[in-house]
Structure 1
């Protein structure tokens, strides 16, 4: 049971970092909560990564803007 919970958490963390949510897994009555916690942790990790990249690059505003036209 613990192994399955860890697998669900890890799947959620990977999906969260990728910006993807699997609604079927998230609603699973047995392991959905573990998946959703992992999903949130993955999103937070991705946010921190982007924040650090912006800091290193000295970026202000969006990293994807090409400037005003």
Structure 2
């Protein structure tokens, strides 16, 4: 008798736990994806800013530009 009650409680608990864990996994994945997208966007902008300001000079002819 007590075994059936414990099984019933466990099934009820699992019915709540599984969706909560699933939603947690989805939200974690979304947060990581947004973090990576933001870092890539910031890195691209950082490279664009510094890429435009770097001028390489020819050591044999300092007046010649890129």
TM-score bin (small chain)? 0.3 to 0.5
TM-score by length of 2: 0.45
Greater length-normalized contact order (CA 8 Å, ≥ 6 residues apart):
1
Higher helix residue share: 2
